[in-house]
Amino acid sequence: MQPVVAVACDVRELERYRWHAAPEPYLRAALAVAGVVPVLVPAFGEDIDVAHLLARFDGVMLTGSKTNVHPERYGIAPTARHEPFDVDRDATALALVRGALAAGMPLFAICRGFQELNVALGGSIAAEIQELEGRADHRAPQSESQDERFRLVHEVTPVPGGALAQVIGESPVRVNSLHRQGIDVLAPGLTVEATAEDGTIEAVSVADARAFALGVQWHPEYWAASDAPSRKLFEAFGAAVRDFAGGLRSAAQ
């Protein structure tokens, strides 16, 4: 039986309906590379009993999105610079982060998910980081081609001996970059696992996690089938999910 992972949905207004959805590249990478079945969790926030829900899952994956975590979640007044928002996803994803860690369940947080992980544990986010002194422009290239928008454009350097380095190695790797926000104050309990050349935090891990608990600011899902570091991230997540699922089944028996 394939293990299953919970994926927090985005909420979109389309054709007079509110849609709960997730981008296919993440789901395809989870299924084809990690070898796990992604199951969408609707963004109903506090209406969901997260602990009860996660008892049916073997891991959690948080995807990227065009929306940003609402700054009130980390004590900042909202401005147009922080938009757009999806407060229903905030309520759902932050609860999934905390629930997964409490359960010792594997967690893979990508892009928006990376920022959700930081906020869920008490950190904050900086808006429009390309305007900060010394920072590069981490936004996506202007193009109609998705391959161009998601191309590998800059290097990140894993921390030697860290959790990320154990997965992809300690040598710098090229990653894609599609974000205008980044970690400002690092949450207590998070460890920096990689930075970009301009000092932007690009990967973190949860220091006391009982299982794989890694977040990356870039988008390994897009090239997971062809780029070795991207593939290794999903393979490591899948292996951790299978270990967790096997442990649960053994305990139940």
Do the bridges between strand 213-216 and strand 107-110 make them parallel or antiparallel, or are there none, so unpaired? parallel
Backbone angles phi, psi at 109, to 5 degrees: -115, 120
The bridge status of strand 154-158 relative to strand 173-175 is antiparallel
- DSSP code string of 76-92: ----GGG--B-HHHHHH
Which amino acid makes up residue 25? P
Catalytic residue check, 219: yes
Determine whether 9 is an active site residue: no
- Give me the catalytic one of 111, 138, 179, 193: 111
171 phi and psi angles, rounded to 5 deg? -75, 150
- For residue 184, give Cα distances in angstroms to 22, 151, 176, 193: 26, 25, 20, 15
Return d(Cα 49, Cα 152) in angstroms, integer: 39
Task: Specify whether 52 is catalytic.
Answer: no
The single residue listed with the structure tokens 């899902």 is 221
Per-residue CA distances from 122 to 75, 185, 187 (Å): 10, 9, 5
Inter-CA distances, 59 with 36, 141, 177, 240, Å:
9, 32, 25, 8
CB 191 within 8 A of CB 205: yes
Please identify every residue annotated as catalytic.
Answer: 111, 219, 221
